Structure 1
Amino acid sequence: MKLWLFKGKEDLPEDDNPWQPGWDEDHGFVVRAEDEEIATTYIRQESAYYGWKYEKYYTVEELLPAGDPGIIV
C-alpha cells in the first residue's frame, strides 16, 4: 500500500477556483491505496465537493518516507 496526498491547487484563476471563498470544503486528503486511481476513487466517494471531481482543480503525489519533518495536512 502507498500513501497519496491530495491538495487543492492554489494557482487557479479567480473565475474558475472551487476552493474560494475557502469554507465548507475539504482542502486535502491523505489516502492509503495501492495506486493513484484507487485513491482518487476513494476521494470522490468520500467528498461530494466538485473540486475533487476534476483533476484540473487538485494535485496528487505519493508520500514517501523521505522528506522534511512537519505537518502534511
Structure 2
Amino acid sequence: MSESVYKVIELVGTSPESWEKAAANAIETASRHLQDLRVGEVVQMDIHLEDGKNLVYRTKLRLSFKYHEDL
C-alpha cells in the first residue's frame, strides 16, 4: 500500500426536506470541486427555524479527500 495524505474539511449542507438530503447536498457540491473524496462523518444535525414555521435541516460533515501535491 502506498503512502497517502488526506485533508479533512467541515461543510454544512442544508435542505428543506431532511438531514439526509442536507448531507447529500454538501457531498454533491464538494464533489464538483474536490477530487478523491473518501470519508464523510456526520458531526452535527440541527434545524434552523425561519419565522417559527419554515424548517431548514442542516447537517455538518467532516469530509476527507486525498491530498495531491502540485508538481
TM-score past 0.5 threshold: no
- Based on CA coordinates, which of the two structures has the bigger radius of gyration? 2
Q: Which structure is higher in helix share?
A: 1
Q: Which structure is higher in strand share?
A: 2
TM (norm. structure 1) is: 0.36
